[in-house]
Amino acid sequence: MPTIERADAWLCHIPVAAVRTDAVQSFVEQETVVVRLAGPDGLEGRGYSYTIGTGGTAVLALVEDYLLPRVVGADAARPEALWDRLRRSTLATTVGPITALALAAIDTAVWDLRARALGTPLAHLAGGAQDSVALYDTEGCWLHFGTDELVANAVAAADAGFGGVKVKIGKERAADDAARLAAVRDAVGPGMAIMVDANQGFTRDEAARRAHLLEPYDLTWIEEPLAADDVEGHALLARSTSIPVAVGESLYSLGQFRAYLDAGAASVLQPDVARVGGITPWLKVAHLAEAFGVPVAPHFLMELHVSLAAAVPNGRWVEWIPQLDSVTTSRIRHARGRALPPDAPGIGIDWDDRALESTVKAKERA
Ligand code: MG
């Protein structure tokens, strides 16, 4: 019974290696709320969640002012009990992104402490379904890249062994998106998976029109074509196009995922362990998807998701966006396009505390 004896949290501003753009936003810095839990015998659990640039101080305040005081004294062997108690304590701000991110920072730390106490890697503790998971690359195919650069990056990804690439779409002219996809497909050949991501950029009619234009390129999925709360619109689109529809990075609860599955509005789910509230609810989303015959391809956070996708039988892809390299010493092992979950006890992330410290702004909640 690893009792949580102390808990603290802080906010880091982790730079991105290169600016990332999509149809609606630019990702220039990862705000990262880190939670540290001290257990017995020097055991420590470390978790985190993130934003891509706004709201980090609000998440930290919720964690520090309301949640951490309820964490001390809890049993890290019982993540369900603690998660439910914390959720009930924030009921007036649930369901919502800030609360989900706050819960996730704590829940991932609880699982880290629990796994370390048991001497077990997260992938095994959470189910251990697969030895490895297929990798696809997103880092080379942002919207601001010109077609030549996009094609070169996609070819480089194929040469490096990735099984797929994700291309951002949402150019002003639909024909420009189609031309970029045609060039990428031509360059990588028929064996490579190509996903596209609209980041909620289209209206219903525009999404249907653009999906039709992109159908010749044998796409693995079209991601977030519409506003994330338009379940009906996604269901209509799913029935009108042969391209599988993927959603999940902008959903914040198990119930929101269920609504998509019930409506037949998604063929691929992309739960984000931070945005859905942690490992505890992430696993429920994955298992629910399995019951609907739907694979999961988690959004971002490959350092955590490699273990979770491997833990469940329907974990299909992990998204390659190395974001923690500047503040960690651990690296994801991969071979022949497949990522291997870490085998060390815990969630598998070794933080470089000196590097992490350098990303803290002193004035924040000092
Ligand atoms: Mg996306």
How many angstroms does the Cα of residue 325 sit away from the middle of ligand 1?
Answer: 21
How many angstroms does the Cα of residue 50 sit away from the middle of ligand 1?
Answer: 15
Classify residue 175: in a domain, yes or no: yes
Classify residue 330: in a domain, yes or no: yes
Active site residues: 168, 299
Strands 44-51 and 268-269: unpaired
Residues 157 and 103 both lie in one domain: no
Rg (alpha carbons) of the chain, rounded to whole number: 20
Q: What is the pLDDT of residue 361?
A: 86
- Which residue, of 119, 137, 166, is where some domain finishes? 119
Residues 94 and 131 both lie in one domain: no
Closest to 254 in 3D by CA, of 232, 227, 270, 276: 276
How many angstroms does the Cα of residue 276 sit away from the middle of ligand 1?
Answer: 15
Neighbours of 173 (CB within 10 A): 8
Whole-number Å distance between alpha carbons of 27 and 32: 13
**CATH code of the domain in which 95 resides:** 3.30.390.10
Q: What is the pLDDT of residue 142?
A: 87
Query: How far lies 339's CA from each of 40, 142, 149, 302, 315, in Å?
Result: 33, 22, 25, 9, 12
Q: What is the pLDDT of residue 19?
A: 76
| Polymer length in residues for the chain | 366
How many angstroms does the Cα of residue 138 sit away from the middle of ligand 1?
Answer: 9
How many angstroms does the Cα of residue 197 sit away from the middle of ligand 1?
Answer: 6
How many angstroms does the Cα of residue 360 sit away from the middle of ligand 1?
Answer: 27
Q: What is the pLDDT of residue 20?
A: 80
Low-confidence ranges of the chain (pLDDT < 50): none
How many angstroms does the Cα of residue 247 sit away from the middle of ligand 1?
Answer: 8
How many angstroms does the Cα of residue 287 sit away from the middle of ligand 1?
Answer: 21
Whole-number Å distance between alpha carbons of 247 and 230: 11
Residues 103 and 146 both lie in one domain: no
What is the Cβ-side half-sphere exposure of residue 167, based on CA atoms within 13 angstroms?
32
What is the Cβ-side half-sphere exposure of residue 318, based on CA atoms within 13 angstroms?
29
Residues 284 and 163 both lie in one domain: yes
Q: Residue 287's Cα: distance from chain center in Å? A: 16
Residues 110 and 170 both lie in one domain: no
How many angstroms does the Cα of residue 96 sit away from the middle of ligand 1?
Answer: 19
Q: Give the angle subtended at the CA of 180 by the CAs of 176 and 186, to the nearest 5°.
A: 140
How many angstroms does the Cα of residue 127 sit away from the middle of ligand 1?
Answer: 26
Residues 93 and 73 both lie in one domain: yes
Closest to 12 in 3D by CA, of 38, 49, 46: 49
Residues around the ion ligand 1 (C-beta < 5 A) = 197, 223
Query: b/e map of 312-345 (b: 16 or more CB within 10 Å)?
Result: bebbbbbbbbebbeebbebebebeebbbbbbeeb
User: What's the domain range around 327?
Assistant: 124-340
Residues 167 and 314 both lie in one domain: yes
Classify residue 348: in a domain, yes or no: no
How many angstroms does the Cα of residue 299 sit away from the middle of ligand 1?
Answer: 7
Closest to 97 in 3D by CA, of 8, 229, 200: 229
Q: What is the pLDDT of residue 255?
A: 98
Classify residue 353: in a domain, yes or no: no
* Domains contained in the chain, number: 2
Residues 62 and 193 both lie in one domain: no
**CATH code of the domain in which 250 resides:** 3.20.20.120
Helix axes 79-89, 97-118, angle to 10 degrees: 160
Q: What is the pLDDT of residue 365?
A: 53
Classify residue 147: in a domain, yes or no: yes
